[in-house]
Amino acid sequence: MYINWILAGDSQRKAQYYSVHNLRRKRLWASRTQTGSPDAAEFAAEMGKYGLNITTELQEKSREQMKEIDRILALPELASVNADFDAVRAKRKPPREVAWYVPLGPRSFAAIARATGHAALYVLLYSVASEVMHSSSEDQHVEFEAGKLTIKPIRFLGGFEPVFRFSVSIALDLYRKILHEYRYEELPAFSRKYLEQWQKQYLNFLKIKYEGGAVITI
């Protein structure tokens, strides 16, 4: 979704916001190790609950990382972008960082999906996958039948083929778009490589027949 949105227009500017967001994220983590910083006290207290201490070595390494990030963020082409993030952050109550695309207009990942014409893909893949990853969808983990409960193994491969096919088709499409934008002359070689090396495996993917699981009789 992000790549499609970046390539849809104003690509350089969008890429700068993506890069600055990631630098700010790294700086936030580094600042949490620095004594006296706004983020340090709470972070140290939480880590202490797990027996994890912030060492002098980690503090020094993080301090050097912050200096380098500040140097990069001060570059003329990035300083105004960084200022935009500061302005948006300050408007939040309490102040907090926002997703990389928010200063550019979209307010959510769903908005990115709609803007790129992938709203259906967002509903089919992102929403369902989120429910599985966060264990909020019970039917992905257990099956109920009359008098029987079947617990699916953690390494469950039952839905691997559709996930694989969706992932490969999306990846191939994105590679073509990136090549078209930045390395147009390589497109014929990419198509030839697909036909010669990938197509057969992709169309004749190994069929998985999955059986088993812990069964509890009710």
Bridge partners (DSSP) listed for residue 143: 150
φ/ψ of residue 145, rounded to 5: -135, 175
Q: Are both 146 and 71 inside the same structural domain? A: no
What pTM was computed for the model?
0.81
- Write down the pLDDT at residue 218: 66
- Lowest-pLDDT range of 61-75, 121-135, 170-184, 194-208: 121-135
- Write down the pLDDT at residue 213: 63
Bridge partners (DSSP) listed for residue 149: 144, 216
Q: Are both 82 and 7 inside the same structural domain? A: yes
- Does residue 173 carry a pLDDT above 80? yes
Contact present, 124 and 60 (Cβ < 8 Å): no
Q: Are both 197 and 166 inside the same structural domain? A: yes
Identity of the highest mean pLDDT range in 26-30, 34-38, 124-128, 149-153: 26-30
Q: Are both 35 and 60 inside the same structural domain? A: yes
Number of domains in the chain: 3
Q: Are both 153 and 119 inside the same structural domain? A: no
Question: Which residues span the domain enclosing 204?
Answer: 141-217
> First-to-last CA distance in the chain?
44
Q: What angle do CA 59, 65, 70 make, to 5 degrees?
A: 125
Instruction: Count Cα atoms within 13 angstroms, Cβ side, for 154.
Output: 0
Give 61's pLDDT tier (boundaries 50, 70, 90).
Answer: very high
Q: Are both 8 and 102 inside the same structural domain? A: yes
Q: Are both 80 and 120 inside the same structural domain? A: no
- Amino acid symbol at 150: T
Q: Are both 181 and 200 inside the same structural domain? A: yes
- Lowest-pLDDT range of 40-49, 67-76, 94-103: 40-49
Give 210's pLDDT tier (boundaries 50, 70, 90).
Answer: low
Q: Are both 91 and 7 inside the same structural domain? A: yes
- Does residue 211 carry a pLDDT above 70? no
The structure tokens listed for 46 are: 């939480």
Give 109's pLDDT tier (boundaries 50, 70, 90).
Answer: very high
CA distance 45 to 25: 20
Three-class secondary structure of residue 205 per DSSP: coil
